[in-house]
Amino acid sequence: MDKIVASSAAAVADVVDGSSVAIAGFGLSHRFPSSLIVALAERGSKDLTVYCNGLGQPGFPTAHLLAENHQLSRLVASFSARPGVRESEAEEQMKRGELAFEIVPQGILVERMRAGGAGLAAFYSPVGYGTPIAEGKEIREFNGKPFVLEQAITADFAFVRAYRGDRLGNLQMRGGSKNFNVSFAKAATVAIAEVEEIVEPGEIPPDLVDLPGAFVHRVVLATHTMDTKTLPKRPARDAKSARTYFDKEACTRNEIAQRAALLLEEHSYVNLGAGIPNLIANYLEGRDVVLHAENGVLGYGPYAEGDEFDPDLHDAGGGFVTPRPGMSLFESVTSFEIARSGRLSVVVLGAYQVASNGDFANWATPEMAGGGVGGAMDLAVGARSVMITMEHCDSKGRPKLVGSCTYPLTAVGVVDTVVTDLAVLKRDDGVFRLLEVARGFTVEEIRSVTELAFEPARQVGFMQDAFTS
């Protein structure tokens, strides 16, 4: 049995017009099967349905290349748009009605793939209830809780990337780069793997085989790689920057993260969302707080500095991180099993809006074509506590703490803590209480830029006192 194929062009030669293709790869640029994508772009097959986390960075050999070539007719993904990233060709095609789009929460996407690969037709999930994701889907109650029926996904082809592969199709992945590769390959009629190295059977130790050859049909040597030193990353504002309210400077983004870090309890498992939440990792030195990332990492440390980083060790926001003793690495199905099953003590996310009843919205605005739900819905529905870190008002000066959300909901009634650049609020018995304000600001000033209903604590403290004392 020999599954080695001579070239990427030969590997994708039977991907015809109208095919469905599941394409692995994480974030904007991490470990996309670029050789297979380039080969499919050169082949020119049209009317494709693509399943992916997101199409990736425009202008690079990511899945977005297929959109630029106008080869897609349908996209099923967790991201069609990302905050701070320029509008892409795919988004423009969506606005023109040329590209159909179905947004799927990241954990549900891999679970639908896992179900398809396991020969299952559907499953019930608590994710997305009360949000636009659940519209038109069957809802059933189990043990008094609502669950949404989700259909399994299968694909004609899967494009995956691995570290090493052998002639039998066994694949070894490296570090935190397993993510979607396993579930996507299992769901495909034909799984095609591009690998950095082809080895003989037996050279991959049996306990290091991440995907057995029974799930893999073709193996080809990668010919396109992306320079890890210049990988495009999610754009981020300067962490030392601060907004001005009432002609006074509020807390910096670093200070928001630092204050939030001090609210995390010892002996806890915590997931950090992209943006300000990611900065919390830099303020946990010496703490017994274990960090979890949706791409399949548990127990990582602060951001890596300079060029000294492992390209296969990154968080869900795409930032390269450092290892800690006891760290474990796995694929995304396992990662979301941790998230949805109540193992996470706290999930810290950013948001566009938080409402008085604990609803929040963080994946779409009216200007976006589609949106970027990522793993937030899975995380919010499973965590024991949900903390939001964000700036108090948006870039146009509009309150982000609102009476009720006007943007599409991420989860219903789950937020219990909010840390902004102006305030710390905790929700108790259905009421938000203002515990702290940024130094130099008054309760009355906070109330004037807050639509969300809150009650001040008997004694309102200053945020900065928590980390300067």
Q: Is pTM beyond 0.85 here?
A: yes
pLDDT in tens, 247-302: 999 999 999 999 999 999 999 999 999 889 999 999 999 999 999 999 999 999 99
Question: Is 294 among the residues known to form the active site?
Answer: yes
pLDDT band at 16 (very low <50, low <70, confident <90, very high): very high
Q: How far, in Å, CA of 130 to CA of 146, rounded?
A: 9
**Mean pLDDT throughout 378-405?**
96
Give the CA diameter of the chain: 74
pLDDT score of 435 more than 90: yes
Distance of CA 253 to CAs 271, 436, 468, Å? 18, 16, 16
Please determine whether the domains at 8-222 and 243-468 fall in the same fold group of CATH.
Answer: yes
Q: Where are the domains of the chain?
A: 8-222, 243-468
pLDDT score of 125 more than 90: yes
One-letter amino acid at 373 equals: V
pLDDT band at 309 (very low <50, low <70, confident <90, very high): confident
pLDDT score of 236 more than 70: no
CATH architecture of the domain formed by 243-468: 3-Layer(aba) Sandwich (3.40)
pLDDT band at 85 (very low <50, low <70, confident <90, very high): low
Average pLDDT, the chain: 94
pLDDT at 467: 81
Say which CATH superfamily domain 8-222 falls into: Glutaconate Coenzyme A-transferase (3.40.1080.10)
Range from 235-249, 319-333, 360-374 carrying the lowest mean pLDDT: 235-249
**Mean pLDDT throughout 202-226?**
95
pLDDT band at 461 (very low <50, low <70, confident <90, very high): very high
Strand 122-125 and strand 155-166: the pairing is unpaired
Cβ atoms 277, 258 nearer than 8 A? no
Q: Name beta bridge partners: 146.
A: 141
One-letter amino acid at 94 equals: M
pLDDT band at 130 (very low <50, low <70, confident <90, very high): very high
Q: Name beta bridge partners: 191.
A: 158
Q: What is the DSSP letter of 320?
A: B
pLDDT score of 319 more than 90: no
What is the SS3 assignment for 243?
A: strand
**Mean pLDDT throughout 215-226?**
94
Q: Please name the residues in contact with 245: beta carbons below 8 A apart, sequence gap of 6 or more.
A: 392, 393, 422, 441, 445, 449
Q: Name beta bridge partners: 298.
A: 292, 328
pLDDT in tens, 21-61: 999 999 888 899 999 999 999 999 999 999 999 999 888 89
pLDDT at 138: 98
pLDDT at 280: 95
Name the active-site residue from 91, 111, 255, 294.
Answer: 294
Distance of CA 395 to CAs 244, 270, 322, 331, 370, Å? 11, 28, 32, 36, 21
